[in-house]
Amino acid sequence: MNNPAKSRTTQVRFGGVGGQGIVLSGRLLGKAAALFDGKDAVCTQSYGPEARGGASRADVVISDDSVDYPFVMSADVLAVFFQEAYVMFRSGLRPGGLLLADADLVQPEDDEQDIHRVPATRIAEELGTRMAANVVMLGYLIGATGVVSRESVEAAIRSTVKPHILELNLKALDAGIQLAAENKAA
């Protein structure tokens, strides 16, 4: 059993609208943690009845020890892909938490501190389709936090996505990780 004093739990919330891959981002992060990094992880999701365009949320709780409660209570990381998701979920980010916002789709408040404006949609479009923006943001998240290893996310992608979009998703992951590294160095 892990020493509770050294146990680390990270709560991550992804927010956006249906069709942006919010649920997939959560599933990939949870799968990377639980199956490939040997951590305990729980992923829950909520989305509207619409196929596209309705509110969507994915919560991932990752721990070195057992996860006692499966829902994000105070997010350590909030990644938002849509303005309404920012408005809806911003108050759930713990003080000092990491806020990741799609630079082209989210306009945070003027006094917002410690925000990472990630041009995830723009980068994904440069790779060929905006549908990979979720994986760009996921790459940025792991590059900025180290909550799971790059290798574990690659393994989760390889075991989850369809073969015809595998290379696109791996490139999107790389682009996000690279951007996080550049921002750390700046």
pLDDT in tens, 81-100: 999 999 999 999 999 999 99
The amino acid sitting at 85 is A
Identify the CATH number of the domain defined by range 9-185: 3.40.920.10
pLDDT reading at 50 higher than 60: no
pLDDT reading at 2 higher than 60: no
- The answer to whether the predicted template modeling score (pTM) of the entire model surpasses 0.75 is yes
Residue among 185, 176, 186, 183 at smallest CA distance from 79: 176
Two tokens at 128? 């060929």
What CA–CA distance (Å, rounded) separates 25 from 182?
22
Residue 3's pLDDT band, with cuts at 50, 70 and 90, is: very low
Spell out the domain ranges in the chain.
9-185
Residue 5's pLDDT band, with cuts at 50, 70 and 90, is: very low
pLDDT, tens digit (0-9, with 9 covering 90-100), for 98-155: 999 999 999 988 667 679 999 999 999 999 999 999 999 999 999 999 999 999 999 9
pLDDT, tens digit (0-9, with 9 covering 90-100), for 20-34: 999 999 999 999 999
